[in-house]
Amino acid sequence: MKAWFSSMVCAAAIGLSVGAPARAADDPAPAIALRVMPINDHLTAFYQGRPDEASVKPGPKHWPDLGAIFVGVATYAIHQGDTAVVYDTFTDTASAQWVRDYLAKVGVRRFILVNSHWHLDHIGGNAVYADSMRIATEATRQKLTDKRAAIEDGTEEGPPAIKPLLVPNIGIAPGNTVTLMVGTVRVLLHPEAIHSADGLVIELPDDKILLAGDTLEDTATFVAEPQTIPQQYSNLGAMRQWGFTRILPNHGNPQVIAKGGYGLGLIDMTRAYIRRLVEHSHDADFQTQTLESYVGDAVKRGDVSVWWAYHEAHANNLAVVAKAWKDQPIPAFDTLP
């Protein structure tokens, strides 16, 4: 999510990443507690946030609250033996260091960082992996390089700044799937232009699991790039055919994630949601159409549940879709590939 104001890599290359330094005793603890959710013997979710609305104190809110903590944020580690692939780094280095320390305690010495996309709540703790191989799409590398100064001085999304910003050092070109082996676990990195053009999702084909990044969310996707909704709709349809049966998003219900994730209905509801946004964007009452009216049928099917913090995300979605589509003809979604 984004805050709402505003060719093959050789598997053997894994051996290039070096050992973990010991954690300094004075490292700060994460401001928001982390929950550890083992998904299976080589996949672990780390989860932070999603407070009840009543427990949120009044006062100024910043991008980590709005983009990640209030909706809840997960990162993932695929690990076997002394090696782990870590998928995203939370909003800050203290949280990322906590994850690294946790993995080090269970024997991980070699880390490979993979970033799902450039949004700040996914890269805030990258600095913890200065000694490691760091992979993203080439588009993410480019975006973060271009925005480095603004991110480091806290003007990209407002404070807090991310300083230093550590940009991934390996970029995957569009259309290339990269295979990594973590011990015996096959890890496929797929560039996927959904939610943001620079997206990267992870497939674990032997587990039939998709780590979806921000391409899918419960309660509803955050529309960051409204102009490309028809292409995202098609890309979601194609991704649905890959063969996975469980989905673990970065922003979802912790109870569902802890139980192993979502079914393919999460893709169906996301496609229906973004399609409806565009199809209704010329309605006179578009700006007041409720989240419930958009996701009610998916809630009834059990695909998602309504979480309070998504009302603001939905309001943002209505605003950006109206702006992008007000003078555009509505595409015939049924004829899209």
Which spans of this chain sit near Zn ion (rule: CB under 5 A)? 1-2, 119, 214
Contact 16, 325 (CB under 8 A): no
Reference 120, options 81, 159, 172; nearest CA is 159
**Cβ distance to Zn ion smaller for residue 44 or 221:** 221
- DSSP string for residues in 177-235: -EEEEETTEEEEEEE--BSBTT-EEEEETTTTEEEEEEEEESS----S-GGGHHHHHHH
Rounded to a whole number of angstroms, the minimum distance from the CB of residue 91 to Zn ion is: 12
Contact 240, 267 (CB under 8 A): yes
Rounded to a whole number of angstroms, the minimum distance from the CB of residue 24 to Zn ion is: 30
**Cβ distance to Zn ion smaller for residue 42 or 134:** 134
**Cβ distance to Zn ion smaller for residue 108 or 201:** 201
**Cβ distance to Zn ion smaller for residue 251 or 280:** 251
Rounded to a whole number of angstroms, the minimum distance from the CB of residue 30 to Zn ion is: 20
**Cβ distance to Zn ion smaller for residue 91 or 93:** 91
User: What does the block give as tokens for 247?
Assistant: 């989905």
Reference 265, options 305, 231, 293; nearest CA is 305
Rounded to a whole number of angstroms, the minimum distance from the CB of residue 120 to Zn ion is: 9
Q: Where are the beta strands (DSSP E) in the chain?
A: 34-40, 43-48, 73-80, 83-87, 110-114, 133-137, 170-172, 178-182, 185-191, 200-204, 209-217, 246-251
**Cβ distance to Zn ion smaller for residue 3 or 99:** 3
Measured from the Cβ of residue 54, the count of other Cβ atoms closer than 10 Å reads 6
Rounded to a whole number of angstroms, the minimum distance from the CB of residue 22 to Zn ion is: 32
Rounded to a whole number of angstroms, the minimum distance from the CB of residue 217 to Zn ion is: 9
Rounded to whole angstroms, the Cα distance separating 3 from 5 reads 6
Rounded to whole angstroms, the Cα distance separating 82 from 284 reads 58
